[in-house]
Amino acid sequence: MRLGYLAVLPFVVGAALVWAIETDLRATASLALTIYAAVVVSFIGAIHWGLGFAKTDPAPRLFVWGVVPAILACLAALMPARFGLVAQAALLATCYLVDRRVYPLEGVGRWLPLRWRLTVVAIASCLVGAAGS
């Protein structure tokens, strides 16, 4: 649980830096936040691979979905930050909605309350960062 909260710290710090630093460094802070969001979205998708590997006869959808967030997050990271951060926020929300359906089926539904809290902070940070970009 502590590691989860530690993982959202760069979101909060990144969003704050977008607003707090000089204009010429703002683009760097926005890019860093966008890239961190892409890494997290990719990680969230990869959890599905882990769920699939833990089974003897996994559903192919776990492996397919496992790569979709990473591909979309990379595309979002290539956008200008004000659009890319909004896209990352949408991806974080989409991943949560997918996980809300998948996790209980895979026996890991107990993580959803924590995932919800972390996702809300990450989405809010991306949107705050986008507004300041």
Per-residue pLDDT of 97-132, as tens digits, reads: 999 999 999 999 999 999 999 999 999 999 999 999
| C-alpha span between 99 and 81 (Å, rounded) | 26
Q: How many CB atoms lie within 10 A of CB 116?
A: 13
Element (H, E) at 111: none
Element (H, E) at 101: helix 81-106
pLDDT range class, residue 23, cuts 50, 70, 90: confident
Give the domain extent around 85: 2-132
pLDDT computed for residue 24 by the predictor: 82
- Return the percentage of the chain with pLDDT > 90, whole number: 91
Tokens of 7: 């993982």
| C-alpha span between 6 and 133 (Å, rounded) | 24
The residue-averaged pLDDT of 45-60 equals 93
The residue-averaged pLDDT of 45-69 equals 94
The residue-averaged pLDDT of 43-62 equals 94
Q: How many CB atoms lie within 10 A of CB 55?
A: 10
Residue that the structure tokens 């802070």 belong to: 29
φ and ψ at residue 5, rounded to 5 degrees: -65, -35
The answer to whether 128 touches 29, Cβ cutoff 8 Å, is: no
Q: What is the pTM of this model?
A: 0.94
pLDDT, one tens digit per residue, over 24-43 is: 889 999 999 999 999 999 99
**Is the pLDDT at 74 greater than 90, yes or no?**
yes
* Total domains in the fold of the chain: 1
**Is the pLDDT at 22 greater than 90, yes or no?**
no
